[in-house]
Structure formats: structure tokens, C-alpha cells
């Protein structure tokens, strides 16, 4: 009887030790993955807030600058692209296109001083500016959560748990390559 209990006890002890090592690591992965998903949802939330504000801003500008259809069309197209984007990389590209279109809108606004003085326009611009700041913070929070999670995926013993249970590295929210270039602002002919 002792000969049978010895190997069984050894297996039970081994399973308990493995459980003590792997269960907390697994639970940490689950928690960190949820943190990443929650942070990404906040990025999407702020991007949606921006998408909701843009039609009001565009309609306000249309009333003052009806002949600036190209810029307004670019904003509408970029907004649609962002609304349909999936995943951090595609959303980052669409977000960069929308940011560029909004930058061109600001140049248009400079040509219409009466628009800048309009209370509705100022309020919308303040809301949009606040949203841009919130988007930046949400992206940073997301990338911080991704970094924490990815470190866990790469470190030992987390790497073993990640491999066994299928936890994979997450993508960072990266800026579009065009984001490295400052927008060109021209208030008149030949930059004068």
C-alpha cells in the first residue's frame, strides 16, 4: 500500500506546487488583459466623443465658409474612416488622417474672424480641444497597460503560462508616420 501512496502523494504535491506557481500568474494575465481592454475602450470612447462633436463643428463652419467644401469633405471622409476602423493600428491611421483634416480646418477658420468670435464655434472648439487632450491621455494609459501586460507575457514564468493558455502580446496604439511632420499653416499668399 505504501508503494502505491508514495507516487500518488508525489503527483499530488507536484500538482499543488504547479497550481501555486501557475494559478496566480494566470489570474494576473486575466487581470492585465482586462486592464488593456478597458484602457482601449476608453481610447475608443474618446474617439467616439470626437466623432460626435465633429458634425456640429462642421455645420457651424459651413454657415460661415460655405465655399471651403474640400476641407469639410476631407473631415467627413476622415471621420467615416475612423468610425469604421478596427484595432489599434487601423484606428491610429484613421485618427492621423482626421487630425490632419482638423488642422486644415483651423487654417480655414483663421480666414473667418467672425467665425472665431461666434460663441457656438468657440464652445465647440473648446470641447474638441478638451477631447483631443482626453484622447492623448487615453492613448497613453492604454499603452502603459499594454507595456505592463507585454512584460508579463515575455518574462519567466509568465512566458510559460502565456504560451500554455494562449495569451499573446498586444499592439501599442502608434501614431501615423505623418504625425511626425508639423502641419503647414499659411495665412496668406506665399506665406506672407
Q: Which helix (H) or strand (E) holds 116?
A: helix 113-117
Task: Look at residue 141 in the predicted model and tell me its pLDDT.
Answer: 94
Task: Look at residue 31 in the predicted model and tell me its pLDDT.
Answer: 93
User: Taken in order 54, 82, 144, 29, is the CA torsion positive or negative?
Assistant: positive
Residues of the chain with pLDDT under 50: 185-192
pTM to 2 decimal places: 0.64
Other Cβ atoms less than 10 A from the Cβ of 81: the count is 17
Please give the Cα distance from 127 to 70 (Å, whole number).
24
Please give the Cα distance from 170 to 144 (Å, whole number).
11
Please give the Cα distance from 106 to 110 (Å, whole number).
6
Task: Look at residue 94 in the predicted model and tell me its pLDDT.
Answer: 86
Contact yes or no for 115/81 (Cβ under 8 A): no
pLDDT, one tens digit per residue, over 165-177 is 999 999 888 766 6
User: Which residue, among 34, 154, 44, 57, has the nearest Cα to 88 in the 3D structure?
Assistant: 44
Query: How do the domains of the chain map onto residue ranges?
Result: 45-181
Q: What percent of the chain has pLDDT over 90?
A: 17
Amino acid at each position: 500500500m505504501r508503494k502505491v501512496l508514495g507516487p500518488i502523494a508525489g503527483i499530488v504535491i507536484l500538482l499543488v506546487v504547479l497550481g501555486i506557481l501557475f494559478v496566480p500568474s494566470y489570474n494576473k494575465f486575466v487581470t492585465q488583459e482586462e486592464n488593456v481592454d478597458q484602457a482601449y475602450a476608453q481610447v475608443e470612447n474618446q474617439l467616439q466623443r470626437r466623432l460626435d462633436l465633429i458634425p456640429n463643428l462642421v455645420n457651424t463652419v459651413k454657415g460661415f465658409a460655405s465655399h471651403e467644401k474640400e476641407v469639410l469633405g476631407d473631415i467627413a471622409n476622415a471621420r467615416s474612416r475612423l468610425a469604421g476602423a478596427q484595432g489599434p493600428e487601423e484606428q491610429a491611421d484613421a485618427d492621423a488622417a482626421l487630425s490632419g483634416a482638423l488642422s486644415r480646418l483651423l487654417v480655414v477658420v483663421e480666414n473667418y474672424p467672425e467665425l472665431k468670435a461666434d460663441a457656438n464655434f468657440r464652445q465647440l472648439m473648446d470641447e474638441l480641444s478638451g477631447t483631443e487632450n482626453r484622447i492623448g491621455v487615453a492613448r497613453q494609459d492604454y499603452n502603459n497597460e499594454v507595456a505592463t501586460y507585454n512584460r508579463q507575457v515575455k518574462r519567466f514564468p509568465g512566458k510559460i503560462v502565456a504560451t500554455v493558455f494562449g495569451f499573446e502580446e498586444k499592439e501599442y496604439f502608434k501614431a501615423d508616420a505623418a504625425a511626425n511632420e508639423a502641419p503647414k499653416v499659411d495665412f496668406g499668399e506665399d506665406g506672407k
